[in-house]
Amino acid sequence: MPLDRYLITSLIIWIIATIESLGGLLGFWSIIGKERFVVLLIEAAVLIALIVNCYVIKNWIYRQTEDPSHRTTAWLIFASLLLCVCGDVVNFNLPLTFYRFNDLVKHDYLVTSVLFFAPGYLLFLVAACSVAISHGLKIKTLFTLLTVASFVGITSFFSMRLPETNMFVTLVTGVYAVLITLVGASGVALVLALRKSTAKVAVYLLASGLILATVADGVIGQFWIYGNNGQGYFPHAKYINWSLYIGSQCILIHLARLAIWHKNERA
């Protein structure tokens, strides 16, 4: 797996996002203070850079192969990212509105963003599972893995849900908790499918990105939506999530390259 300009760009994007998060956690600036506009501007620039890097990676895939499955995966990843970025814009909460559904969960605008994140991560899930299956993972093994992950997601959700949560909020966050756990499980599926690959660094890198996506959204559920009795540990949970989330996306946009890395390593 070459450390090319696409990976370096991803690393730079993640470093910028992490510096912003650390600065917020250490009190140098705040998303709820007078620096709010500047912080959001930086975050928007990070997201734009991520989209551009994903797009040029998609073009790189097209230059490397005419295999329709590889090209389809590249488009799936690009579409996934665009949907997730739409969710990020919702999470900016530009109108500063809270308690949209009831008076229990303050930051329930996050629930609205799930309407973008859910289809976005579903496409990531489909792409990752397709790559795993195309490299020899048995359908039965994948089904077992995803079934176990579903139970983990359900258990995790009910461990954090507040008893009086609005039905709509419960339904959306519950379904999403299962979905995002499946995304993490697809990282395990990649490792199982490509455990004998000589491109192990690439395999483990992409698997970690999928698992990191689950961890990042776990922080949102536990500490931003349902934490502190519905008040959320804001903005600290937001800063932690931002670094983890951008880190996962910086990795996941390279998913379509995995098959090509694997092929090149075997050559």
Give the model confidence (pLDDT) of 209-266 as tens digits. 999 999 999 999 999 999 999 999 999 999 999 999 999 999 999 999 987 776 655 5
* Integer Cα distance of 217 and 17 in angstroms: 16
Average pLDDT over residues 53-63: 95
Segments making up each domain of the chain, as ranges: 5-266
Show the tokens assigned to 213.
């996506």
* Integer Cα distance of 247 and 267 in angstroms: 30
* Integer Cα distance of 225 and 172 in angstroms: 12
pTM of the model: 0.94
pLDDT of residue 197: 78
pLDDT above 80: residue 80:
yes
Q: 7-10: which pairs have CB atoms within 8 A and are 24 or more residues apart? A: 7/254, 9/49, 9/53, 10/53, 10/250, 10/251, 10/253, 10/254
Percent of the chain as helix, strand, coil, to the nearest 5: 80, 0, 20
* Residue 179 host element (H or E): helix 167-193
pLDDT, the chain, mean: 94
